[in-house]
C-alpha cells in the first residue's frame, strides 16, 4: 500500500512537470484569427497572449466598425487559443491519472 502511494506521488510529480513543460511549449504555439472580411488579423499564443494585430487601412475610416471588429476578432482568437490550451493540458493530465472508471469524462 505504501509503495503504491509512493508510486502515485511520483507519477503526480511527473505529471506536474509535464504540465509545466506543456504550458511553456504553448507559449510558442501561435494561432491566427481573421475577421470575416479579412480586414483584421489577430495573432495569439495558445496561452492567450496577443502577439500582433494587423488592420487593413480601409477599416481605419470607421471607428465604430473598427472597435466592433476588434472585439469580435480578439474574442474569436481567445476562444481558439483556449480550446487548444485546454485540449493540450487535458491530454497531459489524463496521461498522469490512474485508470479510474468514469474519470475519462472529466477530460473531454
pTM: 0.74
List the single range of 3-7, 49-53, 59-63, 83-87 with lowest mean pLDDT.
Answer: 3-7
pLDDT digits (tens, 9 = 90+) for 69-79: 999 999 999 99
Q: What is the pLDDT of residues 32-60, one digit of tens each?
A: 999 999 999 999 999 999 999 999 999 99
Give the chain's domains with CATH numbers: 2-107 (3.30.1310.10)
Q: What is the dihedral of CA 36, 77, 92, 21, to 10 degrees?
A: 130
Amino acid at each position: 500500500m505504501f509503495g503504491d502511494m509512493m508510486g502515485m506521488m511520483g507519477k503526480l510529480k511527473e505529471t506536474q512537470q509535464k504540465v509545466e513543460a506543456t504550458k511553456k511549449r504553448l507559449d510558442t504555439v501561435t494561432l491566427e484569427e481573421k475577421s470575416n472580411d479579412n480586414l483584421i488579423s489577430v495573432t495569439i499564443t495558445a496561452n492567450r497572449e496577443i502577439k500582433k494585430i494587423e488592420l487593413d487601412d480601409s477599416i481605419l475610416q470607421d471607428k465604430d466598425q473598427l472597435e466592433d471588429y476588434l472585439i469580435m476578432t480578439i474574442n474569436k482568437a481567445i476562444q481558439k487559443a483556449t480550446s487548444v490550451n485546454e485540449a493540450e493540458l487535458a491530454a497531459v493530465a489524463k496521461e498522469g491519472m490512474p485508470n479510474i472508471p468514469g474519470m475519462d469524462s472529466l477530460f473531454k
